[in-house]
Amino acid sequence: MDEVSVKPSGTAVKQLSVMLQNRVGALSSLLKLLEREQIEVVGLSMQDSCDATIVRLVLTDPDDAAHLFIERGIPFTSCEMVVVGFRNSAEQIIKCMYTLAAGETNVDFSYALLAQPEGRSLLAMHLCDYDFGSSILLQAGYTLYYQEDLSR
């Protein structure tokens, strides 16, 4: 594995999920709303269907975004994400998945983030058990990133 800079703790990265109507401009409007409030998008994933789209967002200020969504009547949910940094992402992602599988920890979904601190590629993962999965990865020497690492 590459050199390790283990940070044993921090605030879990929070993902906000918003359901949008599947129509032209809906995502742009959401992103403009966040931009006006100076909330930066660090990660974005979409799951599309005929009628609606689920937009998963990792943001620099998820708490401010949650308050904004509440004020605007935008329904959302939130969850904790484990974020792992890789130098050689292709081979290390496979090793990371083997590590989680060996610990019998399931990855519900994952996606890459836009931020690249210290030249690392970041992978956000929703695990069936955040605390257990994080501890497995830390014990195996993986570099985890926390909300403080992604916030302004």
Per-residue pLDDT band at 5 (split at 50, 70, 90): very low
Look at residue 8 in the predicted model and tell me its pLDDT: 61
pTM: 0.88
Return the higher-pLDDT residue of 91 and 56: 56
Residue 4 binned pLDDT confidence (cut-offs 50, 70, 90):
very low
Q: What percent of the chain has pLDDT over 90?
A: 74
**CA end-to-end distance (rounded Å), the chain:** 29
- Closest by CA to 35, choosing from 64, 56, 75, is 64
Domain range annotation of the chain:
13-79, 81-150
Q: Does domain 81-150 have CATH number 3.30.2130.10?
A: yes
Q: Which fold has domain 13-79?
A: VC0802-like (3.30.2130)
- List pLDDT tens digits, range 89-120: 788 999 999 999 999 999 999 999 998 888 88
- Residue of higher predicted confidence among 75 and 116: 75
Q: What residues contact 22, with CB distance under 8 A and at least 6 apart?
A: 48, 49, 50, 51, 52, 53
Supply 117's token pair. 């601190």
Question: If you average pLDDT over residues 69-79, what whole number do you get?
Answer: 95
